[in-house]
Amino acid sequence: MKIADNVYWVGVVDWNVRDFHGYSTMYGTSYNAYLIKDEKVVLIDTVKFGFEEDLLGKIEEITDRIDYVVVNHVEMDHAGALKAVLEKYPEAKIVTNARGKRGLKEAYGIERDVEVVKTGDRLKIGKQELMFIETPMVHWPDSMATYLIEQKILFPNDAFGMHYASSKLIDVELSEEDLEKVFFEAAKYYANIVLPYSQQVRKVLDELKKIELKMICPSHGIIWKDNIEKIVKKYDEWSSGKADRKIVIAYDSMWGYTEKALKKIVEGIEEVGVPYRIYKLRNSDFTELMAEVMQSKGLIVGSSTLNREIFPSVAAFLTYMKGLKPFDKVAAAFGSYGWSGEAVDKIVQVFKELNFEVVGAVKFRFSSDEKSEELKELGRKLAEKL
């Protein structure tokens, strides 16, 4: 597909993938690669291994040569087809940064002449010129972006992307309903992949203020054209910790006592009028839940105690969340126990490790009837704090 003057999408849509290294991809995904034709022909990124023939077939329809392959990121969903490309176009020269050069050797055994670039470096390809911007830890150490100066097109690899398969590639083609899905999938992508590196995202956003953008072409999902300002604003909000005045309640219950106590907490929240969403963790998708956590200011976690530990589904979620390092949250914990009751204290400890503001914790032996008012106050207090 031609997306701009002598700029083509040559990627593949993976309709069937439903799990991406532990991340649920209910809409599938795409591996976007791009071809620029000028006096020199440039391929920007490749696709996931297994889709080499799809990529090469699209390239053959456009050109019979490649002069440069820009590797913005060495991860397998972007550089997995690089060896196949180099076998077909052995004269092609790789352009990447120093970390990328090392990664290509370590991940794929590719050792050949590489043009190493850094932020601000430029590559003349004819009438047009490429500029490179290193984006380390957004989301790998080697990550970088490529900017087509004359057409003001940014190829940022994983930044601004989402796992979303579609027969339509550019936001201008989408319905309002589909666009709403795309923005949620972009939030989910940020929350589950990019969130731990928000400080690095802030630096990248500062770099982007120096350039004009007419198109953003990420390596997954939809190309941004009409909604550039909106997605950049979202990245600014997500990376700065700005969140909605709402509460996520995540819990699990062994014999129903913790679940029953939840109703009292909700009564307190409803008295204040703050929106909330409830997730029973053994039935919930952690990746979707993390998108909600990132976009919500408040978090309440409930757990039964099992073998002096947090209930397994709750512990699994807390471990997953802790690795993604959400920040600037107001939190509370609650839960039932039969013997010793360690779960609630351990939840609070996780909150403290993440520097959340903890407004309270309530635990109770079996029934919560005697703690009804305390639980209601816990919900009220957190809601008022927001």
Residues 69-109: pLDDT tens digits?
A: 999 999 999 999 999 999 999 999 999 999 999 999 999 99
Q: Which of 14, 75, 185, 292 is catalytic?
A: 75
How far is it, in rounded angstroms, from Cα 31 to Cα 72?
A: 13
Give me the sign of the Cα torsion angle 208, 211, 215, 217: negative
User: Which amino acid is present at 309?
Assistant: E
* CB contact set of 278 (below 8 Å; sequence gap of 6+): 249, 251, 262, 266
Query: For 279, phi and psi rounded to 5 degrees?
Result: -130, 120
Q: Which of 89, 189, 197, 276 is catalytic?
A: 189
Does residue 193 surpass a pLDDT of 90? yes
The pTM score is 0.93
Residues 13-54: pLDDT tens digits?
A: 999 999 887 789 999 999 999 999 999 999 999 999 999 999
Residues 312-342: pLDDT tens digits?
A: 999 999 999 999 999 999 999 999 998 888 9
Q: Measured at the alpha carbon of residue 73, what is the angle toward residues 71 and 77, in degrees to the nearest 5?
A: 105
Instruction: Domain ranges for the chain, please list them.
Output: 2-240, 244-385
Q: Is 54 a catalytic residue?
A: no
Q: Which of 14, 38, 45, 158 is catalytic?
A: 158
How many CB atoms are located within 10 Å of the residue 1 CB? 12
Q: What is the DSSP string of 250-297?
A: EEE-SSSHHHHHHHHHHHHHHHHT--EEEEEGGGS-HHHHHHHHHTEE
Q: How many helices (H) and strands (E) does the chain have?
A: 12, 23
Long-range Cβ contacts of 229-236 (<8 Å, 24+ apart): 230/183, 231/160, 231/183, 231/186, 232/160, 232/205, 232/208, 234/183, 234/186, 234/187, 234/190, 235/159, 235/160, 235/190, 235/201, 235/205, 236/205
CATH topology of domain 2-240: Metallo-beta-lactamase; Chain A (3.60.15)
How far is it, in rounded angstroms, from Cα 147 to Cα 119?
A: 11
What pLDDT is stored for residue 97 in this prediction? 97
- Joined together, the tokens standing for residue 368 give 């919560």
How many CB atoms are located within 10 Å of the residue 60 CB? 11
Which of 66, 17, 26 lies closest to 46 in space, CA to CA? 66
Q: Which of 23, 27, 73, 185 is catalytic?
A: 73
What pLDDT is stored for residue 100 in this prediction? 96
Q: Is 158 a catalytic residue?
A: yes
Q: Is 73 a catalytic residue?
A: yes
Does residue 113 surpass a pLDDT of 90? no
Q: Do domains 2-240 and 244-385 have the same CATH topology?
A: no
Residues 129-153: pLDDT tens digits?
A: 999 999 999 988 999 999 999 999 9
Q: Which of 139, 164, 185, 276 is catalytic?
A: 139
Q: Is 276 a catalytic residue?
A: no
Q: Is 163 a catalytic residue?
A: no
Q: Is 142 a catalytic residue?
A: no
How far is it, in rounded angstroms, from Cα 374 to Cα 362?
A: 7
Does residue 368 surpass a pLDDT of 90? no
Place of tokens 């207090």: 381
Q: What is the DSSP string of 313-331?
A: HHHHHHHHHHHH---S-EE
What pLDDT is stored for residue 230 in this prediction? 97
Q: Which of 142, 220, 252, 288 is catalytic?
A: 220
In three-state secondary structure terms, 354 is coil
Asked if residues 65 and 54 have their Cβ atoms less than 8 Å apart, the reply is: no
Query: For 372, phi and psi rounded to 5 degrees?
Result: -55, -50
Give me the sign of the Cα torsion angle 316, 254, 296, 162: positive
Q: Is 21 a catalytic residue?
A: yes
Does residue 188 surpass a pLDDT of 90? yes
Query: For 179, phi and psi rounded to 5 degrees?
Result: -65, -35
Q: Which of 21, 61, 64, 206 is catalytic?
A: 21
Q: Label residue 112 by pLDDT band (50, 70, 90).
A: confident
- Superfamily in which the 244-385 domain is placed by CATH: Flavodoxin domain (3.40.50.360)
